[in-house]
Amino acid sequence: MYRDIQRQDQNIYQLLLQEEKRQQDSIRLIPSENYVSKAVREATGSCLTNKYSEGYPQKRYYEGQQITDQIETIAIERAKKLFGADHACVQPYSGSVANVAVYTAFAEPGDTIMGLALPFGGHLTHGWKVSVTGKFFNAVQYELDPDSDRLDYDAIEKMAIQHKPKVIVSGATAYSRIIDFERFGAIAKKVGAFHFCDMAHIAGLIAAGAHPNPVPYADVVSTTTHKSLRGPRGAMILCKEEHAKRVNKAVFPGMQGGPHMHTITAIAVALGEASTDSFKQYGRQVVKNAARLAQKLMEFGFDIVSGGTDNHLILMDLRSKGMLGKKLAKALDSAGIVTNYNTIPNDPAKPFNPSGIRIGTPAVTTRGMKEEQMDTIAELFNEVTANVEDENAIANAAEKVKQLCSQFPVPDSFVS
């Protein structure tokens, strides 16, 4: 591996080897991360990185598009088929860029947009104030029901009636329950708003049939391709036929120049993988693993926000353990359990050192781990939490983590 880099750039070569090892030897619980297949990596490193293709298939601004047109068309057709969409744009560089493109397609600067507030699990690009989406638009933000820590659709409807937003965003980055996209669609319709669903985290579950699909109930849907969907870092926008032109125009020339054709090639490959039966099994196992992990953690006395999970993600409230998220996340990382600290709903602590930790099962499930290993992970998690100051205990846990990881190598291929 990396033979040519080895020959010409020792610094980067050594770092790549170390990162390969880190990814192999640690339990990756960051819910937005995954492992792609070798096929997806090959596509990402292919000669398509050398090509400029501004425009869309059959309507390019550069010559030499004999192959790119075919590849992009395959990616588009696979995306449409997998999610049942009329139209797909596979060019957005990443999820954030896709979202900004969506707002510019469906709203004017200064118009009102409405999304889930970041401290309650919304993404930065759902109108949070430090993001351009909160600066260039008049963003109003809904929160979760304080008792259940779940979406309160009646409250969202009330807010929509009051503020008459141009765009209502459904979807989240740290929310562990099924989202009722049909209801979001009905609310948007009632107030004359566009329903924009951002399914970045759960796209793989949706492709696998393990979470309801927003496509029938949304005017427009964005997703990253690198989270549970298990593709390269990139994004897509799906929409109804009537919005196809405005979406394409908002991405190019509105937001971007030349598309990253190597990424689009890898998206095509990943979408091919996501249409297989084995991917359906994968998506269902991700959900089963998360449910089991949450269950076990609760048995160890961990406080899980909303009392469990319906998807791939678990949000933990550490206040009952007398700890803040960052401290535990760092101790876990020393033991080879990689998580991220996160705000919890109504968090009394500061966002840079919040009260929660966010974990998820897409990556460990890709490595073939099942319920039994979730029990082991919960035990290790508990061990580290009980011994955050004890270097020996953490080193001991790290040994067990390595052992578990050695039994579940990162797979090369997902297609038999």
Ligand X SMILES: *Cc1c(COP(=O)(O)O)cnc(C)c1O
**Is 224 one of the catalytic residues?**
yes
Q: Which phi and psi (to 5°) does residue 229 adopt?
A: -75, -20
Q: Which phi and psi (to 5°) does residue 98 adopt?
A: -60, -40
Among 87, 123, 166, 211, binds ligand X (CB under 6 A): 123
Other Cβ atoms within 10 Å of 372 Cβ, number: 9
Strands 27-28 and 337-338: parallel
Question: DSSP string spanning 111-148?
Answer: -EEEEE-GGGT--GGGT-TTSHHHHSSEEEEE-B-TTT
**Site for ligand X (CB under 6 A): how many residues?**
14
**32 is a contact residue toward ligand X (CB under 6 A):** yes
**95 is a contact residue toward ligand X (CB under 6 A):** yes
Find the shortest distance in angstroms from Cβ 253 to ligand X: 20
Does the bond joining 253 to the residue before it have cis omega, within 30 degrees of 0? yes
**Is 86 one of the catalytic residues?**
no
Find the shortest distance in angstroms from Cβ 224 to ligand X: 5
Stretch touching ligand X by CB under 6 A, among 37-45, 80-88, 137-145, 171-179: 171-179
> Which tokens is 414 given?
């997902």
Query: Is the torsion defined by CA of 300, 398, 286, 326 positive or negative?
Result: positive
**200 is a contact residue toward ligand X (CB under 6 A):** yes
Stretch touching ligand X by CB under 6 A, among 43-51, 75-83, 168-176, 399-407: 168-176
**Is 365 one of the catalytic residues?**
no
Crossing angle (nearest 10°) for helices 261-274 and 68-83: 40
Q: Which residues contact 81 (CB under 8 A, 6 or more apart)?
A: 275
Q: Measured between alpha carbons, how far is 237 from 248 in angstroms, rounded to an integer?
A: 9
Stretch touching ligand X by CB under 6 A, among 152-160, 167-175, 339-347, 349-357: 167-175
List the one residue out of 233, 282, 204 whose CA is nearest residue 43: 233
**Is 367 one of the catalytic residues?**
no
Q: In the complex with ligand X, which residue's Cβ is closer, 94 or 376?
A: 94
Find the shortest distance in angstroms from Cβ 77 to ligand X: 23
**96 is a contact residue toward ligand X (CB under 6 A):** yes
State the catalytic residue, choosing from 54, 69, 303, 371.
54
Give strand pairing partners of 144.
151
**343 is a contact residue toward ligand X (CB under 6 A):** no
State the catalytic residue, choosing from 28, 177, 227, 358.
227
Give strand pairing partners of 59.
56
Find the shortest distance in angstroms from Cβ 74 to ligand X: 22
Please list every residue from 219 through 238 that binds ligand X, using CB under 6 A.
224
Find the shortest distance in angstroms from Cβ 200 to ligand X: 3
> Among all chains, which residue has been given the structure tokens 């890709």?
366
Find the shortest distance in angstroms from Cβ 7 to ligand X: 32
Stretch touching ligand X by CB under 6 A, among 194-202, 323-331, 345-353, 356-364: 194-202
**311 is a contact residue toward ligand X (CB under 6 A):** no
Q: Measured between alpha carbons, how far is 142 from 155 in angstroms, rounded to an integer?
A: 8
**Is 230 one of the catalytic residues?**
no
Strands 220-224 and 194-198: parallel
What amino acid occupies position 152?
A: D
**125 is a contact residue toward ligand X (CB under 6 A):** yes
**Is 343 one of the catalytic residues?**
no
**171 is a contact residue toward ligand X (CB under 6 A):** yes
**201 is a contact residue toward ligand X (CB under 6 A):** yes
Q: Measured between alpha carbons, how far is 369 from 133 in angstroms, rounded to an integer?
A: 38
What amino acid occupies position 372?
A: E
**173 is a contact residue toward ligand X (CB under 6 A):** yes
DSSP state of 144: B
Stretch touching ligand X by CB under 6 A, among 143-151, 198-206, 258-266, 274-282: 198-206
Find the shortest distance in angstroms from Cβ 263 to ligand X: 11
> Which tokens is 308 given?
């469990």
Q: Measured between alpha carbons, how far is 29 from 143 in angstroms, rounded to an integer?
A: 26
Q: Which residues bind ligand X (CB under 6 A)?
A: 32, 94-96, 99, 123, 125, 171-173, 198, 200-201, 224
Question: Which sequence positions are flagged as catalytic?
Answer: 52, 54, 198, 224, 227, 233
